[in-house]
Amino acid sequence: MNKAELVEAIAKSTKLSKAEVEKTVKAFTEVVTAELKKKDGKVQLVGFGTFSVTKRAAREGRNPQTGAPMKIKASKAPKFTPGKALKDAVNK
């Protein structure tokens, strides 16, 4: 499911216009992004899951074309951990 299909499904489910739903989805992604940018930012939706940031240490990798070693910088990556209710629903 892509964003347009998500907007359509939510609009159908809630009887709201697609424009309203699209604004809401955009606002949701913007708020989650802004929160994750903060130090120790986390968004927890009980029963659904948690959006958080994980730290990746600097490491040495290899160039796949030449096999030459290269340094990969430390970075942060967004992470989603599903909640129990979501896991249970998927596993039914």
Burial of 7 (0-12, 13-18, 19+ CB in 10 A): buried
- C-alpha triplet 38, 53, 56: angle, nearest 5°: 120
- Give the residue from 48, 61, 51, 52 showing the smallest Cα distance to 90: 48
Band of residue 39 on the pLDDT scale cut at 50, 70, 90: confident
* Cβ neighbour number for residue 48 with a 10 Å cutoff: 14
Pull the structure tokens for residue 89: 């629903």
pLDDT at 40: 84
Q: What is the pLDDT of residues 25-35, one digit of tens each?
A: 999 999 999 99
Q: What predicted TM-score, i.e. pTM, was given to this entire model? A: 0.78
